[in-house]
């Protein structure tokens, strides 16, 4: 089936960060309003294809909303600034020898000047480089972190759909579910949003730590390989 082949072609990041959160939001629409009143699809394959496309599209919308909701990530920049300039005084991960080596390794790898201070560009360079190496553990944690971030944002959007559906219902545009169902949905969504938000912070730390660890292992391994070649 074409839909099955398409789903198999998606990478882990696409599934976790886009498809699953988008599916949650799309299914929640059917919980909030009586969607069965408006259309009916007898062809399961067509329905599955439409659902997959809409879920993936919704997933990208959720990602954009999550980026706006969470703002610019700062943990990587805080680690680099701590190593280079001694600040900020407190960051959420422990700075070990591996983290302290991040700036000199990055500076050497990308031929950066000593006054380079664009941590956002530096982080993009790091991720682009890691994708070319055998070290992929940090990329898995990136996908898991993005999944939790998108899921947290998705449940916030589900909560926002409830008053919107009641407003549209009062205007006669849709048929909203009963108040007990909507109340249970809001309560459950609030719990899930909090849980995923807390887990998101944990996996963000692991993502940054493993990204720097992958860089360290690759660069120190490369240096050992060069020394071995010189000695042979």
Determine if residue 94 is left, alpha or beta; phi over 0 gives left, psi from -120 to 50 gives alpha, anything else beta: beta
Residue 142, both tokens: 């990136």
pLDDT tens digit string along 20-33?
Answer: 999 999 999 989 98
Instruction: Provide the pLDDT confidence category of residue 209 given band limits of 50, 70 and 90.
Output: very high
CA dihedral over 203, 205, 206, 212, signed as positive or negative: positive
Selected residue with higher pLDDT from 3 and 78: 78
Distance CA 101, CA 92 (A): 18
- Considering the chain, what is the average pLDDT of its residues? 85
Distance CA 36, CA 41 (A): 10
Selected residue with higher pLDDT from 190 and 73: 190
- Whether 189 has a pLDDT exceeding 60, the answer reads yes
Distance CA 49, CA 63 (A): 21
Res 9: pLDDT: 42
Q: What SS3 string covers 131-185?
A: CCCCCCHHHHHHHHHHHHHHHHHHHHHHHHHHHHHHHHHHCCCCCECCHHHHHHH
Distance CA 162, CA 174 (A): 12
- Whether 4 has a pLDDT exceeding 60, the answer reads no
Instruction: Provide the pLDDT confidence category of residue 216 given band limits of 50, 70 and 90.
Output: very high
Contact between residue 64 and residue 21 where contact means Cβ atoms under 8 Å apart: no
Question: What stretches of 16-118 show up as alpha helix (H) in DSSP?
Answer: 20-32, 44-70, 75-85, 97-100, 102-110
pLDDT tens digit string along 68-79?
Answer: 988 888 899 989
Res 232: pLDDT: 42
Determine if residue 90 is left, alpha or beta; phi over 0 gives left, psi from -120 to 50 gives alpha, anything else beta: beta
The H or E element containing residue 197 is helix 179-231
pTM above 0.85, yes or no: no
Q: At what angle do helices 179-231 and 119-130 cross, to 10 degrees?
A: 70
Instruction: Provide the pLDDT confidence category of residue 89 given band limits of 50, 70 and 90.
Output: low
Residue 119, both tokens: 């941590």
What is the average per-residue pLDDT within 191-205? 94
What is the average per-residue pLDDT within 79-90? 79
Res 227: pLDDT: 47
Three-state DSSP class for residue 114: coil
């Amino acid at each position: 089936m074409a839909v099955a082949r398409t789903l198999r072609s998606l990478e882990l990041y696409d599934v976790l960060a886009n498809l699953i959160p988008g599916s949650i939001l799309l299914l929640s629409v059917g919980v909030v309003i009586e969607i069965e009143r408006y259309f009916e699809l007898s062809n399961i394959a067509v329905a599955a294809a439409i659902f997959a496309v809409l879920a993936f599209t919704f997933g990208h919308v959720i990602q954009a909303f999550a980026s706006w909701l969470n703002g610019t990530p700062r943990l990587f920049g805080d680690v680099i600034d701590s190593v280079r300039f001694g600040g900020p005084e407190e960051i959420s991960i422990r700075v070990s020898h591996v983290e302290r080596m991040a700036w000199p390794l990055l500076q050497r790898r990308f031929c950066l000047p000593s006054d380079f201070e664009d941590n956002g560009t530096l982080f993009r360079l790091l991720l682009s480089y890691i994708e070319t190496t055998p070290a992929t553990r940090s990329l898995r944690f990136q996908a898991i972190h993005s999944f939790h971030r998108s899921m947290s944002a998705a449940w916030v959007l589900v909560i926002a759909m409830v008053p919107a559906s009641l407003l549209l219902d009062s205007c006669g545009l849709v048929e909203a579910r009963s108040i007990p169902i909507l109340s249970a949905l809001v309560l459950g969504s609030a719990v899930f949003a909090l849980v995923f938000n807390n887990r998101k912070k944990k996996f963000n730390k692991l993502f940054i730590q493993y990204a720097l660890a992958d860089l360290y292992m690759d660069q120190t391994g490369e240096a050992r390989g060069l020394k071995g070649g010189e000695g042979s």
